[in-house]
Amino acid sequence: MGLRVNMIEKYIKIKNLSIAESLLNFVNKELLPGTKIKKEKFWYGFDKSVHELSVKNKELLEIRERLQKKIDDWHKTRKGEKINIKKYTEFLKKIGYLKKYGPNFKILTRNVDKEISNICGPQLVCPISNARFILNAANARWISLYDSLYGTDVIPETQGALKGKTYNPIRGKKVIEYSRNILDKYIPLKNSSWKDLEKIPEVKNNKLNLKLKYPNQFVGYNKETNKLSSLLFINNNLHIDILFDQGGDMEINNPDGNQDKIKIHDIILESAITTICDHEDSVAAVDAEDKVLGYKNWLGLMKGNLKVEFHKKGKKNFRKLNFDRNYISPKGKKFKLHGRSLLLNRNVGHLMTNPAILLKDGSECPEGILDAFITSAACLHDFKKKGNSKTNSIYIVKPKMHGPEECKFTDLIFKKVEKVLNLKKNQILIGIMDEERRTSINLKECIRALKNRVFFINTGFLDRTGDEMHTSMEVGPMIMKAKMKSSKWISAYENNNVDIGLSCGFSGKAQIGKGMWAMPDLMSNMMEQKIVHLKAGANCAWVPSPTAAALHALHYHQINVFSKQKELSKRKTAKLSDLLTIPFADRPNWSMEEINEELKNNAQGILGYVVRWIDQSVGCSKVPDINGVGLMEDRATCRISSQHIANWLYHGVCSKKQVLEIMKKMAKIVDNQNLKDPSMKGQAPYQPMSGNFDKSIAFKAACELVFHGRVQPSGYTEPILHLNRLLKKN
């Protein structure tokens, strides 16, 4: 990456580093005090480490480019020929792209929190730059089922069950009926139904007067003024807390309790078991100012003092981290349950650099190395009170690594961090994002390189597809995006991730994850479809909101994932030949109408995302698609769309003039959508792209992603986005 300094920033020289003053002040005055790590030790250790590591970082990026050049040349010399998978595989082995698998092994990760090893459930991903969002995510460990049903399309607005602006008792009744069915399914009574209960249950001498089909499901309760206020149950290691209103003021806040003959005020589901606090794809962090914002929020989470003030419906509100939840066990003993999601931290990958720190040669600091030192140092504050990790482990999810050598490099980074911060060996644990082609086909060896610290592997369909298209750019035009999910390589990719994870001993020790439900308004569809992730053997799967987490949690009550993993461990493993099958269209016969519709769909997503990224510094948002359906867009969705158009341009499926005309047409539609979008209120005044194409930095950045997409490193969007965002800021 070239030098992209924020011209406003002042730099301070320490050893061989030039450090942005805002970052230096944050580290010295907020991050390090209270950690026993002196600022001299931190900066001298960082200086030594980053100058050693940056050399290796650069070498690894050069290897990526050399391998890509060899793959391009191989396909060019065989243009028009049918790909021989056997010869292709031998070629990939010869150039070192595909590694030989070593002997079987089991991961040796230790000190993993139970949220990772023992509990299967939803996983939130949230931008670290938005304090309100990240607090909502951290607090999404416990979410109201009643609210989640009432406010979404899981309960249809038929037969008078409209949401409306005020409480609708008809809809409330349907919420209660749905919830009773949930209780009958997952906390069944013996020879009875929750729907038939006439009296409020009682607990006397710590004994529950309900006859449960599985008595051990009752694990706790609470009382207020000697009246039952809460019953706690467990199913598949997930808790369900039934709240009762026996004369308090609960029903003022939730009127459903008024309609309930046994006064169930609400049902609270243990929902987002883990949350990825994201410094990467869902944020727009291009300089010291942006990085410090994210780092401060992460530090606030680790200190436990992050809070935010906001106004809603004319009222001032405060948000802070929830306390742990208190209960009494059936043996009469008091106990606590974690009140918050276990927070994981996603750093950036190896590609990006950031002008927050300049090295001795004047180049920008590799951003992933900076992230590792700063975010790990923040975790030192959590060790004192164990507000997040009860085992004093640091959880870093590392994206966009290409193959085992880059995994080994991440291990080296973490070793350097552990030394500077006086941490124990392998105290920093790693989540491997299986989202690059060279990692997928070498996943077992990637895990081997990190077997002492890996706690998580996860598939990322969008980034993986973007890399698939970029790696195989020379083969031919790629199939349409809608066809990708049914292609042979995708099925092999998703199965391979689970197969390898299970063979390496992940079950009961580490997470095997699946990707995001991207349509936050279509919860009914999610309830029908997202259960496939559990059937595929995933301990966790990504959701876009706390509400989605609560609803998706019901899937984990329905399926015992650990039992499913035992079953899947006996199947035949995914074939490498399927994983290497390239999804190109052999002699496509698409009509011009089909081509234009695909281009419009891609252009809509790119423009809708980029204009918010460049102009508003919003790294993840709900962007309406061509049909008006809100889709969660981040850099991964932008990568696949831009690479798809770039591929079609390269192979003559469409022309540059045709694409530019469509980009301009879709820019007008995106402008209209954004001007009407209530979520854009409170942002900087929206600047339309249409009518201002030559001066709109956002529009020009979107076009660059498409017209220069083929030559971007691994097809990534970050270099173009970061450069243009800095142009906008300066």
Task: Name the one residue in this structure whose structure tokens are 């590694």.
Answer: 99
Q: Which amino acid does the sequence have at 453?
A: R
Question: Which two structure tokens, joined as six digits, stand for 356?
Answer: 């927050």
Burial class (CB in 10 A: 0-12, 13-18, 19+), 357: buried
Residue 625: CB atoms within 10 A of its CB come to 17
Q: In Å, what is the CA distance from 572 to each residue of 378, 439, 499, 567?
A: 43, 21, 9, 11
- d(C-alpha 594, C-alpha 687), whole Å: 31
218 forms bridges with which residues in the sheet?
A: 233
CA 248 vs. chain centroid, Å, equals 39
SS (H, E, C) 118-168: CCCCCEEEEECCCHHHHHHHHHHHEEEHHHHHHCCCCCCCCCCCCCCCCCC
Helix (H) or strand (E) holding 55: helix 39-76
319 forms bridges with which residues in the sheet?
A: 308
| 3-state SS, residue 475 | coil
Which residues, 6 or more positions from 572, have their beta carbon under 8 angstroms from its beta carbon? none
Measured CA angle at 89 (ends 652, 96), to 5 deg:
100
- What residue ranges in 245-298 does DSSP mark as E strands? 264-270, 274-278
Tell me if 211 sits within 8 A of 189, measured CB to CB.
yes
User: Among 196, 200, 198, 214, which residue's Cα sits nearest to residue 242?
Assistant: 200
Q: What is the DSSP letter of 212?
A: B
| 3-state SS, residue 431 | strand
- Residues involved in catalysis: 346, 634
Q: What is the DSSP letter of 81?
A: S
Q: How many CA atoms lie within 13 A of 543 on its CB side?
A: 33
Q: Are strands 238-244 and 11-14 parallel, antiparallel or unpaired?
A: unpaired
| 3-state SS, residue 82 | coil
312 forms bridges with which residues in the sheet?
A: 315
Tell me if 428 sits within 8 A of 417, measured CB to CB.
yes
